Structure 1
Amino acid sequence: MSALRQEADDRILREWDPEDTAQWEGGGSRIARRNLIWSVAAEHVGFSVWSLWSVMVLFMPTDVYGLSTGDKFLIGATATLVGALLRFPYTMATTRFGGRNWTIFSAFVLLIPVSATIWILANPGMPLWVYLACAALTGLGGGNFASSMTNINAFYPQRLKGWALGLNAGGGNLGVPAVQLIGLLAVAWIGDAAPYWVCAVYLVLLTIAGIGAALQMDNLTIPGVDLTAMKRAVANRNTWIIAALYIGTFGSFIGYSFAFGQVLVGHFRDGGATPADAALQAAQIAFIGPLLGSISRVYGGKLADRIGGSRVTLWVFLGMMAAATLLIVGSGSLAVCIAGFIVLFILSGAGNGSVYKMIPSVFDAAAQSKGFDNPADRADYSRALTGAVIGIAGAVGGLGGVGINLVLRQSYLTSGSATSAFIVFGVFYVVAAVITWAVYVRVPHDAAQAPQVDTSAPVSERLG
């Protein structure tokens, strides 16, 4: 492409503009797709490593490793917390180091916690802080989401961002059920040595992802997310409203992904199963929820491209409220537990896609309201703020996963069941639905008070 120069040695793309139709149709779409594929691959493996301990704890008997159910929830919360907090610096990393360069680093650095997990599993009986420290290191995989999403946001035009970001995030989210399924298969084929082999598989996959990123991805020179963009995003009320909504969608997805297996183990134990049988039975089911939630994220983003992100998000929260009510009413029933969780996973996945479609739409509208004379300046402003909010919302949403695990832990400690936890979650979904309707769906009395809107939505939604 004449309008796009690439330096072969360091794979730098210059003069990149996805909104330039001629450039996009002349080869830009192929470049974007190639970067998307390997971004998804690296993020997918990163998510698997992030949720690695949600699988490991299922096959760590209390009498061998000395970990209680509360300890296992705490391990999950620790991994979730670190992964969420790292999304802040990871958001700016692609601007500072380049999307390709950071993807290579973020894949290879995960070899450290995976190797440490093998060593810890081979030496049971260690104090709790050792498990927590290793779980914290796996949180590096959670940070990959922010850098990957910010990077891919810069590669795609506004009209395709819902699909591209949904596919990128959904492919990454699939890392959660993937590691759970690999753990299940390892148990079925190998038996007690399964945890070691799960980790060994990911040592190979991380190496492939890092090498693939080095050979196939590119760095961009266009302005991205920096401290200035972060400050602007922090000062914008829409950033925190969207982040709060993402707590309800992604926070639910990742929190339930870590906790679903443990909740199932409790049901099977109550039914008379031995600890080993309960763990195996839980593993046979636990991966289904995150799998469906990851797939639904792609379609949630695609649906949001058609009818508006805020409308999809509103219906998602109403459905999640109903699912939480079902789990409260049907507590004690294994069938209700499985059905309720599956619905929550599907809806939270769709909500992840719809909320993330809202971000570029809201800030593209904000950029247009600034009155930039140069379209390139407007695009840079929109891209930088979108990338910043992707990171902030991703981090805050991940903290919702911490809350899920801690609330469930406290519920089990006080009552021995998850019922009181789902009362808390149900109330939150009600509040989130009201906020979505009031801020982004309802037509305000004074449209001038809401200049930052979802431009893909119907007219009534755009005004809010």
Structure 2
Amino acid sequence: MSQTSTVTPPEPASPARRRGGRWIDHWEPEDETFWQQTGRRVARRNLVFSIIAENIAFSVWLLWSISSALLVAHYGFGFSAAQMFFLVAVPNFVGSVLRIPYTFAVPKFGGRNWTVISGLLLLIPTLLLAAAVSNPSTPYWAFLLIAATAGVGGGNFASSMTNISFFYPDRKKGLALAVNAAGGNVGVSIIQLGLPVLVGAGGLYGLVSASPGGVDLARAGYVWAALGLLAAAGAWFFMNNLSVSLSSFRVQISVVRRKHTWIVSWLYVGTFGSFIGFSAAFPLLIGLQFPGVEVADVTFLGALVGSAARPVGGWLADRLGGARVTLWNFAAMAAGTVMVIVAVNRAAWPLFLGSFLVVFVTTGIGNGSTFRMIPMIFQRQALAAVPGATGTQRDAALARGRTEAAAAIGLSSAAGAFGGFVVVATFGVLGLVNDGGVPPDVIATAFAIFLGFYVTCVALTWWHYTRRSVLIQRAPNLSSADV
């Protein structure tokens, strides 16, 4: 049965509205009665299938984070350490670029429709991987191009977050967005834990032995291709499009003129860029720095704790204020990075693992708190543009604020994904300077660069969002607890 007919009272037909199928024309989550009777159930169902699709997409996006190491260890491809870092970095770069059109796809085509399309696109990188590893003469440049196609998995996050932001009322956006994102982020752990077992490389702390027949990476390509089809089918049968999410490109792109779009994007580079970049680089860093450690047994832990911490960040931000949580979280991230540098210099495995996991936790908390800030900032700015507005004028301002916030979420997610590329590429570039090798001093230098970036994030958050004086002078109705 059409979702429009089940959740919407009869309305006069309007050529401006897109009806039929699984479109919902009447959506008012801020109305408590509507939310309790209809909205919550529909939003929860869309959130569940959004998480499934995003989880599979993240797994495909990080497919090469673990596959690259197996290519060298089990297939005999003679790639240098720097080449492997670039093989892992390319999907992050492509994913960051694709997040921009993916952001604008939801208001153009509808969230459910685009989730179907994005699920089907996952067949490209997965089937190409299966074909490439089946041919021992596949050159490095071909692997690089195939790895680039995995970027379609990274683009999915932007459209998913943009879509879910329309389903939930403002008071619940922080946790809803954090849960949606965390469900996707944990796909990184799934691919890093499950792929070695699936392809015959062993794992699960020695509970699964390596296959006597050798590693078969093509198997992973076929499995995640099938999962891509599953994601598309789930969206087709169980998700909805919201007419309220439709908007012109002109309205959405206007957020590029907003100062805060670029500030929160910078902050999200620090949180999500670190999460996805470190997740991609973690297996290679462990293998290079601590060759005696079984990578498959620990590499998934970073993404797992980072993903689990994201809802905590959203929950804390809903209660304490996104800016306050973000500020102190960046300070903790900087402290954890200092400990990682110490561990690298001392070649201390327990300290390295423990401090790196602390950094992963802070990336997750910061992801949740930063995204909670965005809807609040843009809605407050929309109201500030029409001082004293009431009734329909105020409602129109809030609607515009939500549309701009959704676009800002997508654009900042693109910036964050690009940050993930920069993180991995930093190791690769420093390795090239070091004749292709990535020894401990190169790793420590890279983390020192990241530390400097986190310091700028602390300064920006304090200057723009937590200083009481600037809040009072520039936005009298805004407090750090609101942001």
Q: TM-score range by the shorter chain?
A: over 0.9
Match of 1:237 in 2: 259
Contact 1:18–1:24, Cα closer than 8 Å, also in 2: yes
The alignment of Structure 1 onto Structure 2 pairs a total of residues equal to 449
When structure 1 is superposed on structure 2, of 148-157 and 215-224 the one drifting more is 215-224
Instruction: Tell me what 2:458 maps to.
Output: 433
| Contact persistence 2:317–2:325 (CA under 8 A) | yes
Superposition map of 1:18-57 within 5 A = 18-57=29-68
Find the aligned partners of 2:468 and 2:378 in 1 and give their Cα distance: 19
CA-CA distance at 1:26 after TM superposition: 1.0
1:381 is matched with 400
Question: Which of 281, 304, 324 in structure 2 is aligned with 1:259?
Answer: 281
SS in 1 for 2:24: strand
Q: Kindly provide the amino acid, as one letter, of the partner of residue 168 in structure 2.
A: Y
Partner of 1:427, secondary structure, is helix
* 1:379 Cα deviation after fit: 2.9
- Equivalent residue for 2:106, pick from 90, 94, 118: 94
Report what 1:12 is aligned to: 23
Map of 2:14 onto structure 1: none
1:108 corresponds in structure 2 to 120
Give the distance between the partners of 1:225 and 1:256, measured in 2 at CA: 35
Which amino acid in 2 is paired with 1:320? M
Go from structure 1 to structure 2 and tell me whether the alpha carbon gap of 1:406 and 1:99 turns closer, same or farther (over 3 Å shift).
Answer: same
Seen in structure 2, the aligned counterparts of structure 1 residues 2 and 86 have a Cα distance that, compared at 3 Å, is closer
Deviation at 1:69, TM superposition (A): 1.2
Match for residue 81 of structure 1 among 93, 98, 103: 93
Tell me by how many angstroms 1:134 deviates.
0.9
1:132-154: CA deviations, max 9, x gaps? 11111110010000000000000
**Stretch of structure 1 that moved more, 181-190 or 346-355:** 181-190
Change (3 A) 1:73 1:4: farther
Task: Give the secondary-structure state (helix, strand or coil) at the position aligned to 1:18.
Answer: coil
In the alignment, is the contact (CA less than 8 A) between 1:5 and 1:13 conserved in 2?
A: no
Residues 392-440 of structure 1, C-alpha deviation per residue, up to 9 Å, x if partnerless?
1001111111111111223344362200001101111111111111111
CA 1:446–1:299 in structure 2 vs 1: closer, same or farther (change >3 Å)? closer
- Counterpart of 1:205? 227
The alpha-carbon deviation at position 78 of structure 1 amounts to: 0.7
Q: Which residue of 2 aligns with 1:328?
A: 341
Residue 204 of structure 1: how far off its partner (Å): 2.2
Deviation string for 1:177-227 (max 9, x for gaps)?
Answer: 111111132222563334222223212221211111111001111144542
CA displacement at 1:156 relative to structure 2: 0.4
Equivalent of residue 366 in structure 1, options 381, 394, 397 = 381
Instruction: Look up the SS of the partner of 1:19 in the other structure.
Output: coil
Instruction: Give distance in 2, aligned partners of 1:198 and 1:217.
Output: 27
Q: Is the 8 A contact 1:4 1:13 kept in 2?
A: no
How well do the aligned residues superpose, as a CA RMSD in angstroms?
A: 2.0
Are 2:439 and 1:416 equivalent residues in the alignment?
A: yes
Q: In the alignment, which of 182, 189, 194 is matched to residue 194 of structure 2?
A: 182
1:397 aligns with 2:422: no
Deviation of 1:446 (Å): 7.2
Instruction: Tell me, in whole angstroms, the C-alpha distance in 2 between the residues paired with 1:283 and 1:333.
Output: 19
CA contact (8 A) 1:48 1:179 kept: yes
How far apart are the structure 1 equivalents of 2:116 and 2:275?
26
Cα deviation for residue 9 of structure 1 reads 5.2
Deviation at 1:452, TM superposition (A): 8.8
Tell me the distance in 2 between the aligned counterparts of 1:287 and 1:226.
40
State whether structure 2 residue 219 is matched by structure 1 residue 219: no
In the alignment, structure 1 residue 150 sits paired with structure 2 residue 150: no
**Range 114-123 or range 378-387, more displaced:** 378-387
- Counterpart residue type for residue 258 of structure 2: N
Contact 1:246 1:396 in 2 (8 A): yes
8 A contact 2:68–2:88 mirrored in 1:
no
Q: Percent identity?
A: 38
Amino acid at match of 1:10: G
1:67 shift after superposition: 1.6
The one-letter code matched in structure 2 to 1:333 is: A
The CA distance in 1 between the partners of 2:40 and 2:471, in whole Å, is 40
The residue that corresponds to 2:205 in the other structure is none
Which amino acid counterpart does residue 463 of structure 2 have in structure 1? A
Which letter does structure 2 place at the counterpart of 1:56? S
Counterpart residue type for residue 429 of structure 2 = Q
Residue number in structure 2 paired with 1:71: 83
Q: Secondary structure at the match of 1:124?
A: coil
Specify whether residues 4 and 233 from structure 1 end up closer, same or farther in structure 2 by C-alpha distance, changes over 3 A only.
farther
| Contact map agreement 1:101 1:214 (CA 8 A) in 2 | yes
For 1:353, the equivalent position in structure 2 comes to 368
1:230, 1:297 → 2: CA distance? Answer: 26
Shift of 1:249: 0.2
TM-score, normalisation: structure 1: 0.92
Residue 126 (str. 1) matches residue 148 (str. 2): no
Q: One-letter code of the match for 1:416? A: P
Is the alpha carbon distance of 1:446 and 1:105 closer, same or farther for their aligned partners in structure 2, counting shifts above 3 Å?
A: closer
Unpaired stretches in structure 2, ≥5 consecutive residues: 1-5, 12-17, 203-207
User: How far has the Cα of 1:3 moved from its partner?
Assistant: 4.6
Unaligned residue ranges in structure 1 (runs of 5+): none
